[in-house]
Amino acid sequence: MNIVVIGGTGRIGTGLVQMLTEHGHDVVAAAPSTGVNAVNGEGVTDVLHGAHVVVDVSNSPSFEEAAATEFFTTSTANLLRAETPAGVGHHVVLSVVGTELLARQSGYFRAKLTQENLVAAGPIPYSIVRATQFFEFLGSIADSATVEGTVRLPDKLIQPMAAVDVAEAVAITAVNAPRNGIAEVAGPEPFRLPDLIRTALTARGDGREIVTDPAARYWGVDLDERTLVPAAGATLFDTRFEDWLLRTAAKA
């Protein structure tokens, strides 16, 4: 199967390209650094020639609403426009669990929801993979919630997963028939957000105090209890947070 991975040199894209290649597929890692820019259209027509599947795991370089909306709408429109004459039969896009809820207060997630809607309304059979937060980004969550050296977090649930499992979920979706709908994927178990971040920081020797604060926000969003966890029926992957921590520490 010929597969083009948009964003193929990023965190998820790199692992995805490797997995698909190891399973015998012909895979192209498409990114500005490889001569393919989905935003301005550079190289898109050529790279899609002969592709059976296009997987979009690219991300906006900005979380600001206007910039993110421009990125997702322009790149998605350019891909869908080029996929029709190329005969692409499956468009896969990576998104985020809770996007509809997060979009009520976050411009970035409104942009992601716009991207999802463009794909769903487009001419190409599609699959949307919504993943929970990655273990690898827990430090960024702590940084975003730090006020005067203290990490303030709401006492809500989160069910994160390893980036390698996200890549596997997308790979599985890419080589199967289009869902023409949404699939949710997550890690094996939920945590209270302050407890999870406390463990993550302690494991890397970060002594910042963690405070449970009902008024605290998550990337500027007031969370409901289950905004960051998947609905029933989601596919749960096996990598446990504790095992990921040990593996990460060993590599360090």
Give the model's pLDDT for residue 36: 98
Q: What are phi and psi of 238, to 5 degrees?
A: -85, -25
Q: How far is CA 71 from the centre of its chain?
A: 15
DSSP-derived letter for residue 189 is: -
Residue 190 reports pLDDT greater than 70: yes
Strand 126-131 with 90-96, pairing: parallel
Give the tokens for residue 26: 């012909």
Average pLDDT of the residues of the chain: 96
Cβ burial 77-91 (10 Å sphere, 16+ → b, else e): ebbbebbeebebebb
Q: Which CA distances in Å does 207 have to 4, 17, 18, 193?
A: 43, 37, 36, 17
Tens-digit pLDDT profile for residues 124-180: 999 999 999 999 999 999 999 999 999 999 999 999 999 999 999 999 999 999 999
Which residues form the domain of 107? 2-251
Q: How many CB atoms lie within 10 A of CB 220?
A: 12
What is the total count of domains within the chain? 1
Tens-digit pLDDT profile for residues 44-73: 999 999 999 999 999 999 999 999 999 999
Residue 5 reports pLDDT greater than 70: yes
Which residues fall within 8 angstroms of residue 183, CB to CB, at 6 or more apart?
127, 128, 129, 130, 169, 173, 234, 235
Q: How many CB atoms lie within 10 A of CB 209?
A: 11
Residue 111 reports pLDDT greater than 80: yes
Q: What secondary structure, in 3-state letters, does 23-75 show?
A: CCCEEEEECHHHCCECCCCECHHHHHCCCCEEEECCCCCCCCHHHHHHHHHHH
Give dist(CA 179, CA 173) in Å, integer: 8
Name residue, tokens 């468009």: 91
Residue 252 reports pLDDT greater than 70: no
User: In sequence order, what DSSP letters do the residues of 85-106 get, joined into one string?
Assistant: HHT--EEEEEEETTHHHHTTT-
For residue 159, give the CATH number of its domain.
Answer: 3.40.50.720
Residue 251 reports pLDDT greater than 80: no
Vertex 65 angle, CA 60 and 66, to 5°: 90
Confidence of residue 249 (pLDDT cuts 50, 70, 90): confident
